[in-house]
Structures are given as structure tokens and as C-alpha cells.
Structure 1
């Protein structure tokens, strides 16, 4: 019995197919625009059927919005020692996940974020994604502190984490170092918020 953590052949093939669909979609979006690209064109470019496309992504919108970094982020947050403060744990997890990305993966994430924030049809869906992110962070936070995910303080902290990142990434989509700076600013207690000088 193998204890190899490497995914099996089937999982690797599925991951390759998913990546190919997304890469071809992003190429087509760049060449002809998001609105003018059909699912059929994406499927043809990725050499899959439209039904295969729908097995991986329920909509064209979800092809862009789906964040493949969520599972490793949750894992990295949960791997932080319990004595590390929550915001610090989140920032360190983000640093760890970003550091583990190849240059191609970083470029893919930058492109994904640029699409999310520049395509009007996708900008409207960002709010749903932010709520989903808050739910995800609230869940991992609740497990870490022994509270429920709907606890007021848990939700407020999760919202603050998402909010500081969104506040800066919206200006420069794909700028991951800026997102980390925003987390440091939150970690420091948002010092500007205590400033009373004019």
C-alpha cells in the first residue's frame, strides 16, 4: 500500500483538463473579449466537448471566478501553530501559498484577477465571491478558536480580512504583494484609523 501523497493518474488528468480549459478560455478572452467568447469556442480550443466543459465549470463566469488557491490556503491556515494570532496566521498562510506558486501559476492568478475586476459581467459577481470568501475564512477561523462560523466576532474578522485585501487588489488586480501589505496593515490594527491629525 502506497503512502505517496501524489495524486493518481485520473486526478492528474482531470487537473490538466481543467487547466487546459481555463488557459484556452483566457487566451480567447484576451483575443476576442469575454462577452464575445462562447463556451463552445472554449470547448473547441481546449479539445473537449461542451458537456465536458460543464463538468468542470457550471458557467463561463465560474471559469474565471473559481479560486483554486482556496484549498491550499485553508490547509496553510490550519497548519499555523495555535499560538499564532489569527490575522498573522492568515498572512503567513498567504505568503506560504504565494511562495509555492510557479511563475506560470502567478501569471495565471494575475490574469484571473485582472479579468474579474475589468470585465463588467464579472465585477457584478465579485460580491457573491466575497461572501463565499468570508464564509470560507469564517469557517477556518471558527475551527481554530472553537466558535461557530456565524459568531459575530468570527464573521467580523473574516469580513475585515476580505475587505482589506479587496480594498487594495481592486486598484491593482493580481498584485499579490499589495494584498500581503494590506494584511500587515490590518495586523497592525489599521493605524490610520486611529490617527486624529489632519
Structure 2
């Protein structure tokens, strides 16, 4: 079955959302988050304030990027349940970072510089740090659901949440280093290093393991 193609209305909605967010992040970066209003963003994007709110219910939402969560949960759900939890989650984090920042990754990715700008804003703005924590909790729960463990088993649920939160903490450390380094070191490499420092080789993914001709 072929994948459903987005309708013209859906494409236009996505284009408007990307335009609004791009203008918002540009203004926040140039003037400072607190100095920019939603009306300023609407004017820069050439839309009404109501349109901005329709796509982004709060001002903080203008700096959040939903795509990484989708990429991560898709990869977690597709991973083998026979692998250790930290390898399933860690591998998904590395793969999503590759798709978001490396050439030839996800075509809809907003781009490396845009990601760096968003991360800098989140680090430097108290209101955005709080909103980021909320989004991280939502991501943790989405990953736990994608792992597919029996949530009625309290011990299994505990292990899944513990492994996921630890992996996300390692990723946060990598993201902080990435912004400090101005993106010079590839983000997937930093996440891999952070995971290895936290869990050892158990969290390291050998992407060549399933390649043709690879012998175990």
C-alpha cells in the first residue's frame, strides 16, 4: 500500500506553519525572546495573529520542534524488542539526529542552523526552559508507549521509564555541547559519546551489523 500524499490544504498549512516559525525564531534571535510579541511575528510572516495562534497555541510553542519526537518514536517502534532498552532508545535518538542534521536526512527537516537557533533560545530563556521540560516529559511518555511494553506490568513500565529518561538526559548533555560548539561536531556523534559515557557499549549501535555480507 502506497503512503498517502498530503492534500493541497495540508501542504499549505505546513508551509504556513514553517514560515511563521522561521520568522519567529529569526526575530527572537535578533531582538530577544521577551522583546518580540506574537503580533510582531504575525507581521513578519504576513499573516494574522489569529493564524499564528491557530498553529502555535502559545508563544513558547513557536520555538518547539515537533519533528524529532515523531522521528524518535517511529524508530523506537521499529526497533527489535530483543535489544536492550537503552540500545533501542539510544539508537533512535542517534538516527533521528542524523535525519535532522546530516545531508541526505529527512527532507522535511528544518535544517541544522534552525535547530541550533532554537536550542540556544531554549537554553537562554527561562520560560522556554520550562516549556522544554514539559515537552521532554511528553517525549518520554511517547517513547515508553512506542517501546510496546505491557504497561500493566509495573516493573516493566518502571524499567522502560528509567531507561528512557536516562537516555534523554544523555541526549540533553549532547545537545548542550552541540550548541556550545556551534554545531561543529556532528550531533549524532555527540549523542553516541554521551550514551557511551552513561551506559558503555550497551548503548552503542553498530549500524553495519545488518549490512549484506556482514558476519556475526
Taking structure 2 as the reference length, the TM-score comes to 0.75
Equivalent residue number for residue 134 of structure 1: 140
Shift of 1:14: 1.2
Q: Which deviations, in whole Å up to 9, do the C-alpha atoms of 1:15-38 show, x marking residues without a partner?
A: 111110110011111221111111
Pair 90,171 (structure 1): closer, same or farther in 2 beyond 3 Å: same
Query: Is structure 2 residue 34 aligned with structure 1 residue 35?
Result: yes
Q: Deviations over 1:41-92 (max 9, x none)?
A: 1011111111111111111111113432111211121112333332222233
Taking the aligned partners of 1:119 and 1:149, their CA distance within structure 2 comes to: 39
Q: Any gaps of 5 or more consecutive residues in structure 1? A: 191-198
- Pairing of 1:61-140 with structure 2 (within 5 A): 61-101=60-100, 105-140=111-146
Q: Are residues 115 and 180 of structure 1, via their aligned partners in 2, closer, same or farther at CA, if it must alter by over 3 Å?
A: farther
TM-score (norm 1): 0.81
Separation of aligned partners in 1, 2:95 and 2:139? 18
* 1:181 to 2:193 alignment: yes
Q: Give the CA RMSD over aligned residues.
A: 2.6
Structure 2 residues not aligned, in runs of 5+: 104-109, 203-216
Higher relative contact order (CA 8 A, sep 6+): 2
Give the secondary structure class of the aligned counterpart of 2:51.
helix
Q: Match of 2:34, SS?
A: coil
Distance across 2 between alignment mates of 1:149 and 1:21: 43
Q: Where does residue 160 of structure 1 map in the other structure? A: 166
CA distance in 1, matches of 2:88, 2:26: 35
Change in 2 beyond 3 A, CA 1:152/1:38 = same
Once residues 61 and 168 of structure 1 are traced to their aligned partners in structure 2, the CA distance between those partners, rounded to angstroms, is 23
Measured after TM superposition, the shift of residue 186 of structure 1 is 3.4
Q: Does 1:147 align with 2:151?
A: yes
Please say if residues 133 and 162 of structure 1, whose CA atoms lie closer than 8 Å, have aligned partners that are also in contact. Answer: no
Q: CA–CA distance in 2 between the matches of 1:146 and 1:12?
A: 37
Aligned residues: 187
The equivalent of 1:16 in structure 2 is: 15
Measured in 2, the distance between the counterparts of 1:149 and 1:94 equals: 25
Partner of 1:196: none
For 1:172 and 1:100, the matched residues in 2 are separated by: 16
